[in-house]
Chains A and B, each alone.
Chain A
Amino acid sequence: MSGLKRGSVAVVGAAESDLGQVAPHTSPVDLMAQATMRALEDCGLKLSDIDGVFSAATQVRTAPMTLAEYLRIKPRFFDGTIIGGSSFMTHVAHAQAAIEHGLCEVALIAYGSTQRSVSRAAASPRERNPYEDPYRPFMPTSAYALAASRHMHQYGTTREQLAEVAVAARQWALLNPKAWEKEPLTIEQVLNARMVSYPFTVRDCCLVVDGGGAVILTSAARAKSLKKKPAYVLGVGESLSHATISNMPDLTVTAAAESGPKAFGMAKLKPSDVDMISLYDAFTITPILFLEDLGFCPKGEGGRFVSGGAIAPGGKYAVNTSGGGLSYCHPGMYGLLVLIEAVRQVRGECGKRQVKGCEVALAHGNGGVLSSQCTVIFGSDATL
């Protein structure tokens, strides 16, 4: 049960900042502001229309406040919820609640990171944990590697199946002019790349690049009068299961098994209604886990589900058409870009990688070490 109303709000503007490698001394808030103005241009609204600010960034502890100062806007409502890469999916849910209750009318969700420029260690300093630090896990990679080890043990998932996820992402990225990676990738190249945390090589791991983005949400009523086709929020679901990998109840089942049904329930849809699936792919195991937990395939079948190019261009399922965090862009908290690709697919503006007749797109965010799971389902006006 959700207290929110299916289709009451829509994303009307969506844009990335500059991505990849930005100039020295660019700040994360420079990228947020740049993306904000591009998202406003995308929908035809002005800075002064924004009365709700939602933001999170590892380099900016008080993100809504810092962004409001930069843009000199005075939001009526703000939310800086930070739960890792899925923060922006929760911002969509919270913005929907705020808009439905009249607490704001035009909500900005923004993110920026310069982790490639300043180093990942500087961009995302880790919190001390005396129960894990002595073992020097390479975090967050080793946490996901532990989950992969368990999936391989319980369900027979193979390194080749993990590699399929990276190869499919690369094939999609080659259709996306904004993608960081420009060269083809094979399963053998993934398997033979530098090992980072077994079973992951560096090609099983997301990119470390600069980037950011912004989306603008408003009420369904106001959305109809704006420049682009609205991407209506049909369903949202949020769930937390743990913070540290040592405390994850079952390493083969994520809280997407809770956030997904919440979002589908609110949207009155089922997995087979989804035309395009945008999943947070921090590591090759994560799309496999989320395809299972969101109900696209049975538990344990994810490895076989992605095999044989099934999620690559021309395959059975359109998954991560941007090229994903593995090959398009991963600035550290990638969820905002996961949302943007789903919105663009529903609008039909993805060019060579456009999914034909895409009316429903699912954007799923993951944060921490499989810790926070948040699902947003977008639909075109045909789905209302």
Chain B
Amino acid sequence: MQDLKKQSPFGVYLEHLKKGELAYQVCADDGAAVFFPRAVAPLTGSPNLEWRVSKGLGTVYATTVVYAKDQAPQNVALIDVDEGFRMMSRVEDIDPIQVKIGLRVRFRVHAGDEKQPPYPVFTPAGGEK
């Protein structure tokens, strides 16, 4: 079990993002991919969570376009990452309404700014699933 007085699950995840990596956990007891990162594995309650770095490829599971007053329309999607976990993200470099379920996508880091730490986004990887 990680010592929560020394580091947090999100803290470790963020350190990976700063190195350009999309990190997730695997429960050593049942082998399941775990995301969002946790201090304790879901279902098993196991403390044996191992950090892994994703290859960064996934498929769009669900998609919407947010029309906010203060910004251009933006995609919000749920991505099924190939290693077996799902996460919310945004697909960039494509008209947001053209982001379709099944689209294959590749991870990259969005640098963020002084208020927003780096975070993962995706771009079309070519092809569908």
- Interface 1/0 per residue, A101-144 and B, CB below 8 Å: 00000000000000000000000000000111011111000100
Contact (Cβ within 8 A) A197 B65: yes
- Among residues of B, the one whose C-beta sits closest to the C-beta of A195 is B67
Contact (Cβ within 8 A) B88 A149: no
Once bound together, how far apart are the Cα atoms of A132 and B62, in whole Å?
A: 14
Size of the chain A interface, CB-CB below 8 angstroms: 25
Contact (Cβ within 8 A) B88 A246: yes
Contact (Cβ within 8 A) B90 A197: no
- Among residues of A, the one whose C-beta sits closest to the C-beta of B87 is A246
**Contacts A130-B10, A149-B101; is A135 near B67 (CB within 8 Å)?**
no
Once bound together, how far apart are the Cα atoms of A245 and B62, in whole Å?
A: 11
- Residues of chain A with a CB closer than 8 A to B32's CB: none
- Residues of chain A with a CB closer than 8 A to B74's CB: 135-136
Contact (Cβ within 8 A) B64 A246: no
- From residue B84, how far is it (CB to closest CB) to chain A in Å? 13
- Residues of chain A with a CB closer than 8 A to B36's CB: 131, 246-247
- Interface 1/0 per residue, B55-90 and A, CB below 8 Å: 000000111111110010010111000000011111
Does chain A have a CB within 8 A of B116? yes
Once bound together, how far apart are the Cα atoms of A247 and B42, in whole Å?
A: 12
- Residues of chain B with a CB closer than 8 A to A153's CB: 62, 101-102
- Interface 1/0 per residue, B87-99 and A, CB below 8 Å: 1111000000100
Contact (Cβ within 8 A) A131 B87: yes
Does chain B have a CB within 8 A of A196? yes
Does chain B have a CB within 8 A of A145? yes
| 7 nearest A-B residue pairs (beta carbon) | A145-B64, A134-B119, A146-B62, A198-B65, A153-B101, A246-B88, A150-B62
